[in-house]
Every structure is written in structure tokens, then in C-alpha cells.
Amino acid sequence: MYMDYAKYTGDTQFLDVVTGALVNTSYGAEQDLLGGSMSSTAATLLGRWNDDILWHTIGGAEIYGADSIMPGAKGPWIKLAQKTFDQTYQQWDDGCGGGIYWSRDRNGNSAPFKSLITQLEFVQQGARNYLETKNETAIAISKTALDWVFSSGLGNIQTGTLYDGMNVGECGKFTSHFWSYNYGSLLGALSWMHKATGNNTYLDLITPFYTHASEVFSDKYNNVITETCEPNVKCNRDQQGFKAVYVRNLAYTYREITADNTKNQIKTVIDASVAAMVANSSALLVAALGVHLSPEGGLLPKITAGQLVDTTNGAAGLGSGGTKNPGKIVSKPLSAASDLHVTFSTLFFGIILSAIATSSFSPFDILP
């Protein structure tokens, strides 16, 4: 997410810290989000989830350049993206006709589950890898995965309905709760596949799913994106951040589609959602971040991860401006990479303050 923010606004003040975090998360020289030589330890401490390792793997290659050397690593940034894509594809089998497992643990309670979000992240990753490398295998596998989403019934082209997943052994018995990040990730996957292939079929498929997503998440809430668990205050920590994924992928979709009507609808929804966030969240954010009057109080990381993701995604659209699309940024040794002490609250505090202080600004002003 931050890499997108830096690209679209030209504000790279936190790039060193975020890049360092990505280097550390991928175990430096190992360039491996599964832990490399420490994979068994990492799995014990953190678990192994295919959706978790796909979210951020391409960010470094896209902002620094695919062949730019990753600081402290043995290879270029694209190596991390390609390795993660390959590791995830190892989890594909023909159960229920195809698809990638959500969990990498074949003995756990979640072992048989094939989640929709994993497939959609995988499709996006493959398309974006292809744009950097022109690897035909990556785009072919992504097409196969997307085709399976529809043939399996997880995505219904006629109704625009998306289901959350299903267990191998119970094919066609879907977990049916609607989550905004599934819809956003599909819209983003279709947009990236169109960008990679030029095939307009992917743009045509956007319409039924965006229409259904709007009916579920924004039309009934005055265009403010609202998770289905929010009205009854039943969202857990992770679910509070799902809207951020939806919004980011709406921005990807906006940049790729050509239909003015849909572009205007997306703009209206994002503008309304950001305005609602700024109008209602300022005091809550200050309290949640633990800002005290006394110098010794400092910033306390009280805000939950889900709230932070959701808030900073909106804040990224309210950035301080600057050069649009600054181009590839030279990758260099990082002062923060070896010993990160910056909390996520500190990291995004400046962005959040800009959201609080800024008014009458459209996030789309920063999109090329």
C-alpha cells in the first residue's frame, strides 16, 4: 500500500523505513517470505498462509525497478516476487477442479480450505510479475487460476456474487459471507489482467461484480463504503481493514477502465468514503494514537492493525501532493533495514495528520 502512495504522490519520506521492513520480513539475503533457512521456525511462530505472503511481494520491484538489487539480498527485487509466486503455485492441486489452498499446513483444521482471496491475490501477482518480466508462464497460470474462480462457482458472472471459499471434499458448498476485499481483489485482478494482456473480456467482467459490490457495500450507505459486519459492530480486527483493500483496488480499476459512467461511480464512492473518514475519525485517531500534551507521553501504538490499514489507505489519497509518478527510484542501502525501531503508528502518523488537516481534495487528483 505504501509503495502505491509513494508512486502516486511523490512523497517518499517513509520509503526507507517501509523498504527496510520488507527486506526484514523476507529474511534479507534469503528473499523468502516463508523464512528461507528459518522456514520451520517462521511457520511455528507465524503460521503459513498463502494469502499473507502474496500481499506485498511486487511492491519493491514496481517502485525501484525489477532488476534493481534488493538491499542486503542476493538478487534483484523481482526475485522476491517470482519466488513467492512459485511458492504459492506449489499449493495448487486438482481438488474441486483446481485452486490454491489457503493454508500451507496440510494437517491443520484449515487444510482443505481454498479461499477466494488467495486465488485473486495470485492472479494479480502473476499479472504484475508479467508486466515486469514478460514471463509468459506467469500470465498463463494466472489466467488458469482466474478461469477456475468462475468455473468452480466461487465467482458467478451472471449475478456478480462472490463466495469466500470452499473445502476440498465439499466442492460447491461455499462459505457465503460477503467481504469487500474479495470484490476489490477481483476487480483489481481483472484490471491487472487487462493491463497485462489487452484482452477486453476482463474489462467486461468488471461490470457485474462492481454492480453487486456497490449494492452490498455502498449504495445503501450514501456511497460510503461499509463492511457488512459494521452496522452491528461485529467486525473483528482483520475485517476492519477489508475496506482498505477494496478502495485500493477500486483505484486500480478506475485507472484501467474506459467507461465514464463506471469511473464516475467509483470516484463518487471513494470521495464520499474519504470525506466520511476525515469528518468522523479525526478525534478518534488522535485518541487511538495516544497523542499526549506532555513531551514524555509520546505516541502509543494503540490503534489496531485493521483500523490503521483502513485509515492510511484513505490518507494516501489525501497526501501532500508532489510529483506524480516519479518513476523508478534507485534502490540503496537502508539505514533502517538492520535495526527498525519505528512503530507503525509513528510510520503513518504524518500521513494521518495530513488526512485530518486537508479538506476539499479528491483522491483522484493524484492519479495519472
26-40 pLDDT, tens digit per residue, is 988 899 999 877 666
Return all residues near 242 (Cβ < 8 A) that are at least 6 apart. 179, 180, 181, 227, 306
Q: How confident is the model at residue 269 (pLDDT cuts 50, 70, 90)?
A: very high
% residues pLDDT > 90 (the chain): 57
pLDDT in tens, 272-294: 998 888 777 655 555 554 444 43
Q: How confident is the model at residue 66 (pLDDT cuts 50, 70, 90)?
A: very high
pLDDT in tens, 140-192: 999 999 999 999 999 999 999 999 999 999 999 999 889 999 999 999 999 99
Nearest residue to 274 (alpha-carbon basis) of 359, 180, 183, 181: 359
- pTM value surpassing 0.75: yes
Nearest residue to 129 (alpha-carbon basis) of 198, 41, 192, 212: 192
pLDDT surpasses 70 at 110: yes
Amino acid 298: pLDDT: 37
Amino acid 305: pLDDT: 38
Q: Which three cell numbers stand for residue 228?
A: 457488512
pLDDT surpasses 90 at 99: yes
User: Would you identify the CATH topology of the domain 2-363?
Assistant: Glycosyltransferase (1.50.10)
Q: How confident is the model at residue 364 (pLDDT cuts 50, 70, 90)?
A: low
CB atoms inside a 10 Å sphere around CB 108: 12
Q: How confident is the model at residue 125 (pLDDT cuts 50, 70, 90)?
A: very high
Instruction: State the DSSP H helix or E strand holding residue 250, giving kind and residue range, or none if neither.
Output: helix 242-256
Q: Which three cell numbers stand for residue 166?
A: 470452499
Which has the minimum average pLDDT: 5-9, 60-64, 75-79, 223-227? 5-9
Q: How confident is the model at residue 1 (pLDDT cuts 50, 70, 90)?
A: confident
Nearest residue to 120 (alpha-carbon basis) of 80, 162, 82: 162
| pLDDT: which is higher, 10 or 133 | 133
Which has the minimum average pLDDT: 98-107, 123-132, 237-246? 237-246
Amino acid 181: pLDDT: 96
pLDDT in tens, 45-55: 455 889 989 99
pLDDT in tens, 300-342: 333 333 433 444 444 333 333 322 333 344 555 444 333 333 3
Query: What is the side-by-side strand order in the sheet with 165-167?
Result: 113-115, 165-167, 174-175
Amino acid 140: pLDDT: 98
Amino acid 367: pLDDT: 59
Q: How confident is the model at residue 363 (pLDDT cuts 50, 70, 90)?
A: low
Amino acid 285: pLDDT: 55
The mean per-residue pLDDT over the stretch 94-118 comes to 95
pLDDT in tens, 190-245: 999 999 999 999 999 999 999 999 999 999 999 999 999 998 888 888 888 899 99
C-alpha span between 322 and 252 (Å, rounded): 20
Q: Domain ranges in the chain?
A: 2-363
Half-sphere exposure of 135 (CA within 13 A, CB side): 19
CB atoms inside a 10 Å sphere around CB 268: 12
25-51 residues labelled b (16+ CB within 10 A) or e (exposed): ebbbebbbbbbeeebeebeeeeebbbb
